[in-house]
Structure 1
Amino acid sequence: MLIKTKVIVLSKLKYRDNDLIVKCFTSHRGVVSYLLRGVLNSKKGQSKIAYFQLLSQLQVEESYRENQSLQTIKDLRLDYSFTSLHTNILKSSIVMFLAEVLASVLREEEKNEQLYDYLETTFRWLDTKDEFSNFHLLFLLNLTKHLGFYPDTTDTNQMYFNLNNGLFESKKEDVYSISGENLTILKQLLGINFDALESIKLNSKQRQSFLAMLLLYFELHLGSFKKPKSLQIFNQVFN
């Protein structure tokens, strides 16, 4: 059965000598992995590989077979042509880091149009902007809405935020209760849109500290989540 769908590339992995396995988040069926046969062994295949850069947005026609873990692609084209996402070294570092996070946390093979729209829209926003140093922080925070553990904002005036239960609290309950600078940044980011990010001024140390807190938040709520291997390189580039 042939199915046309939009996809966002999350990861790619060499398979055997000449094949490639590409993991994508699709608009019609969540996470799908595709087997690209022989693409590493021909000029035609090499040109096809260029489409599968991390977080590329494509339109594909897949040859779908039920109960098959690896699907195949009959035809593809760009859905959106990025101008800076893969050429600007800072943006490409964000791409590498966030693609690794997404490949880790997105596992469901079910339709989620709201999440697809969120990914599509935010990465297109990043592609067009010159000021984006806090992008990854708001991106990850808002991603928790789609993953089911966005902070409860009913009582944000409290002095602590508990990473373990996602609640603002009046007193320090355990080691996962945060306060101070990270709490202030969290309150600043809650509910704002990406265009308002320029108003939040953070230095690299503050960003790294808040990012570490966010990744711990992910670990606490997603049992299988592990800190991305690209984190160290990412922090070095943004230092």
Structure 2
Amino acid sequence: MQVTTKAIVLTSLKYGDTSLIVKAFTESDGMKSYLLKGVLSSKKGKLKAAYFLPLMQLEIVANHKNKGTLESIKEAKVTLPYKSLHTDIVKNSLVLFLAEMLGNSIQEQEEDRALFNYLEYTLHWLDEHEAPPNFHLLFLLNLTKYLGFYPDISDQRGAYFDLLEGSFNRTPSLNPLIQGDEIVHFKKLLGINFDALQTVQTNKALRQELLKKVILYFELHLHGFRKPKSLAVLNAVFE
């Protein structure tokens, strides 16, 4: 079936000498993987390798057989040309990390318009603004809303956040916890928008510890989740 849909590129791997395997989150069908034959050698075709950088926003014309095999793309065009996401070193490190997190987290091969709209909005916001040091923390916490395990914020009076239960407790449990200085800043991130990120001040050590806990939160709630390899690069950039 031929479809025309928006798509956000997550990963792009070289296949052979001239081809790419691209994983993308589509507006129409959720997660899809495509084989782009000869795209690295073709200079006159409708597909260009530069379109398939991480988190590029495209409109594609694709053939979806929906048989669990690699699909194909006939045409592609960029819907939002980025000003800074792939040229600013900090933003580019964020892009690589977030693309890997998304690729490891989104598993559904079905339409999820709310999640697609969230990704569209946040990537446009990041492209237009200076990258706040806590952007990735808020991005990932908000992402859990669409993946089904956003923290229970009905009662935040507890001094401990139980990562396995996803709720605040007044007494510690044997499960992995967010506590101490981390819990104060964790609470500040819950429920705010990206424009308010400048009000959340954290140092490097605290930010890295919080990120470790947030990634562990994903591990505990997503079957088969893998830790991102790009985390070390992200930490180095933010030092």
TM-score (norm 2): 0.96
Task: Give 3-state SS (helix, strand or coil) of 1:212's partner.
Answer: helix
| Structure-to-structure mapping, 1:1-239, within 5 angstroms | 1-44=1-44, 48-67=48-67, 69-239=69-239
Q: CA deviation at 1:223?
A: 2.7
The residue identity in structure 1 corresponding to 2:51 is Y
- One-letter code aligned to 1:13: L
Gaps of 5+ in 2: none
Q: Does structure 2 retain, via aligned residues, the 8 Å contact 1:5–1:61?
A: yes
**Aligned with 2:9: secondary structure?**
strand
Deviation at 1:41, TM superposition (A): 2.1
1:181 and 1:40 map into 2 onto residues whose CA distance is: 49
Count matched residues: 239
Offset at residue 225 of structure 1 (A):
1.2
Tell me which moved more, 124-133 or 175-184: 175-184
3-state SS of paired residue (1:3): strand
1:56-101 Cα deviation digits (max 9, x unpaired): 0000111232425111111111111110000000000000001011
- Please tell me whether the aligned partners of residues 7 and 26 of structure 1 are also in contact (alpha carbons under 8 angstroms): yes
Q: Which moved more, 1:109-118 or 1:64-73?
A: 64-73
Question: What is the one-letter code of the residue matched to 1:218?
Answer: F
Aligned AA (2:29): R
C-alpha change, 1:68 and 1:151, in structure 2 (3 Å) is closer
Unaligned 5+ runs, structure 1 = none
Distance between the aligned counterparts of 2:213 and 2:232, measured in 1?
Answer: 15
CA contact (8 A) 1:131 1:198 kept: no
Preserved contact between residue 62 and residue 75 of structure 1 (Cα < 8 Å)? yes
Cα deviation for residue 45 of structure 1 reads 5.7
CA distances 1:99-123 after superposition (whole Å, capped 9, x unpaired): 0111111121011000000001001
| CA RMSD across the alignment | 1.4
How many percent identity over aligned positions? Answer: 49
8 Å Cα contact 2:23/2:34 also seen in 1: yes
Distance in 2, matches of 1:67 and 1:209, equals 41
Cα pair 2:164 2:175 within 8 Å, conserved: no
150-159 or 177-186: which moved more? 177-186
Question: Do 2:61 and 2:74's aligned partners in 1 also have CA atoms closer than 8 Å?
Answer: yes
Which TM-score applies when normalising by structure 1?
A: 0.96
- AA matched with 1:54: P
Q: CA deviation at 1:177?
A: 2.7
* In 1, Cα distance between equivalents of 2:92 and 2:20: 21
